[in-house]
Amino acid sequence: MSKITFLGAGSTVFAKNVLGDCLLTPALQGFEIALFDIDHERLQDSANMLNNIKKTSGSTSIIKSYTDRKEALNGAKYVVNAIQVGGYDPCTITDFEIPKKYGLRQTIADTVGIGGIFRNLRTIPVMLDFAADIREVCPDALFLNYTNPMAVLTNVMNTYGGVRTVGLCHSVQTCVPELFKHLEIDQTGVKAKIAGINHMAWLLEVSKDGVDLYPEIKKRAAEKQKEKHKDMVRYEMMLKFGHYITESSEHNAEYHPYFIKRSYPELVDRFNIPLDEYPRRCIDQISRWKQMREDLVNDANLTHVRSHEYASYIFEAIETDVPFKIGGNVMNTGLITNLPREACVEVPCLVDRNGVTPTYVGDLPPQLAALNRTNINTQLLTIEAAITHKREHIYHAAMLDPHTAAELSMDDIVAMCDEMIEAHGKWLPEYM
């Protein structure tokens, strides 16, 4: 019996999408779906939910919960990762509140920036523990990483974990549909090419019947900018740098030095930037969980419709040898020629029985590669800090972050990092 192991299975809503999709996929019938989470109550919630979907869908797969991680991984063909280390309280609160004391404001704080750096530092040791188990009990498994910060964690698993890893993000699938919907352009028959780094990949080409659609896109985007809307940062970046970015405006507002500035506070209002957005989402999700739990876990007639998540389509393509195209995060083995080879990049990939094969992109337009490199710098120094356990590399990562560097002096950055390390305490014992 083949096995799909889901680490972080207490993420019940996400487990419904990824594993519910697997239960509906003909090529994956008869698989064992192995669930693991350190929160045993949430683990049982997800098992109950998936068994309800199994019953209503008629799936022949077996749902099994594990409290021992190595047993959950033993013999797995595919591993899906969706963990969050430290949770909302205390770690997300720390990631937002301490920088705020120094005048550094954030929106999501899960990719780069000071929040992204510290989320990486507390997650990487856990991921490397996963890697050690995988090398021992399922060394040939394909590891699908959904956890942020995507680029760094996928890089670490490939470079230091010795595990065949592909990072997956929703932003590639939704980029063109959401842009065209907002600009009221018919997307039927549209051809697009996307590449860059995670959360800052670029819509490099977009055409229909051989006609470049960018002139019309930019014309409509410029009109939209005359009134407030939720995507103003991305439209501004496109109009200034030439290309649209895959990830949302609330994310991209904190990836660059141009938008969240104490010296120009009016920019936050002008570009409709939702400061402290991620904590609000966490609070809302926590408050809604009781009703969501009733709807998902205790509904014996729960059904599921296959989602747009890549995981089940990847597994299906490998099992059936029917090719499927994804946007995947992989190591830059010469794929994007003007980005560092040490970086993790997001490029089109072909999936079939051979696994996930990334495609060659070549040079990005120079201004786009330059923007990517500003974030890659922080990513690579964060990895250096995590692997060497040297506190000075945390400072380097933070000082190289575009938004942090634009707002704070080097002395303030060092002091803020020290306070963050102290506040994280048991989550970062290597640096205490």
Structure-block tokens of residue 285? 């999700």
40, 170, 403, 424: which one is catalytic?
170
**CB-based contacts of 236, cutoff 8 Å, min separation 6:** 225, 271
d(CA 309, CA 80): 12
Rounded distance, CA 194 to CA 247, Å?
Answer: 12
Q: Is 389 one of the catalytic residues?
A: no
CA 333/CA 250 separation, integer angstroms: 30
Rg (CA), the chain: 21
CB 220 within 8 A of CB 183: yes
Q: Which residues are catalytic?
A: 170
